[in-house]
Amino acid sequence: MNHKYIEKTPEKIQHLFNLIAPHYDQNNDIISLFLHRFVKKSIVEAITEVTEQAKILDLCTGTGDIAALLKKRFPLSDITGADFSDEMLKVAKRKHKTINFVNADCLKLPFEDNSFDLVTISFGLRNTVSFDKALSEISRVLKPGGIFVHLDFGDANKHADRVFYELVKFIAELQGDDCYVYLLQSKNEFPPVEKLIELFARHGLKYEQRRDYIFGIISAQYCIKI
Ligand SMILES: C[S@@+](CC[C@H](N)C(=O)[O-])C[C@H]1O[C@@H](n2cnc3c(N)ncnc32)[C@H](O)[C@@H]1O
Average pLDDT, the chain: 92
Q: 206 near 135, Cβ under 8 Å?
A: no
pLDDT of 116 over the 70 cut: yes
Predicted confidence at residue 17, as pLDDT, reads: 94
125 lines ligand 1 (CB under 6 A): no
- Alpha carbon nearest to ligand 1 atom 1, residue: 123
* pLDDT higher than 80, residue 180: no
What are 126-143's pLDDT values in tens digits?
999 999 999 999 999 999
Please give the model's pTM, rounded to 2 decimal places.
0.94
What pLDDT score was predicted for residue 101? 98
How remote is the CA of residue 147 from the centroid of ligand 1, in Å? 19
Could you report the per-residue pLDDT of 99-108, keeping only the tens digit for each? 999 999 999 9
Distance of alpha carbon 221 from the chain centroid: 12
Q: For residue 124, what are the contacts with CB-CB under 8 A and spacing of at least 6?
A: 59, 60, 62, 106, 152
Q: Is the CB of 32 under 6 A from ligand 1?
A: no
| 200 vs 215, more confident | 200
Do the beta carbons of residue 70 and residue 137 sit within 8 Å? no
1-33 pLDDT, tens digit per residue, is 556 777 889 999 999 999 999 999 998 898 888
Using CA atoms, how far apart are residues 10 and 173, in angstroms rounded to an integer? 25
Higher pLDDT: 179 or 155? It is 155
Domains contained in the chain, CATH given: 10-225 (3.40.50.150)
Distance 19 CA to ligand 1 centre (A): 13
Q: Which residues contact 83 (CB under 8 A, 6 or more apart)?
A: 17, 59, 60, 61, 62, 89, 92, 101, 103, 104
Ligand 1 site, residue 27, Cβ cutoff 6 A: no
The bridge status of strand 218-225 relative to strand 142-153 is: antiparallel
Taking CA atoms, 18 is separated from 26, 79, 179, in Å, by 15, 23, 10
